[in-house]
């Protein structure tokens, strides 16, 4: 049986440890909350004189959507998370719990 060189084994263990640290539901909700606050900010300032508010609102929405998708794919428990600390985020779940909408 071939043995792996010690430096390779050490690097392999270090690489694996990066994926071991999972995000907690609280940290995910905090991250999504920060992202959602940017949507709220740009929603209030989209018609300010400089004309970039609507573009910034669209970008903030896109970033939130990407984060939410990434978290739900990587951490399936988020599909059952209420996100109650994120004000103005409506979460609706079907009776059979197979469909969930965020708005």
CA 69/CA 10 separation, integer angstroms:
33
CA 94/CA 34 separation, integer angstroms:
27
Q: Where are the domains of the chain?
A: 24-85+94-102
CA 7/CA 90 separation, integer angstroms:
50
Burial of 21 (0-12, 13-18, 19+ CB in 10 A): exposed
Residue-averaged pLDDT of the chain: 81
Q: Tell me what the mean pLDDT of segment 84-98 comes to.
A: 88
**Per-residue three-class SS string for 61-72:** HHHHHHHHHHHH
pLDDT in tens, 23-64: 899 999 999 999 999 999 989 888 776 667 888 899 999 999
With a pLDDT cut of 70, the percent of the chain lying above it is 76
Burial of 20 (0-12, 13-18, 19+ CB in 10 A): exposed
Which of 52, 31, 30, 54 lies closest to 43, judged by CA? 54
């Amino acid at each position: 049986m071939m043995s792996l060189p010690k430096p390779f084994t050490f690097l392999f263990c270090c690489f694996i440890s990066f994926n071991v640290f999972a995000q907690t539901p609280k940290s995910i909700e905090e991250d999504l909350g920060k992202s959602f606050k940017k949507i709220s900010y740009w929603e209030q300032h989209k018609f300010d004189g400089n004309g970039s508010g609507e573009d910034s609102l669209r970008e903030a929405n896109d970033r939130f959507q990407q984060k939410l998708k990434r978290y739900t794919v990587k951490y399936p428990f988020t599909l059952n998370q209420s996100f109650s600390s994120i004000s103005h985020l409506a979460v609706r779940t079907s009776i059979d719990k197979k469909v969930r909408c965020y708005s």
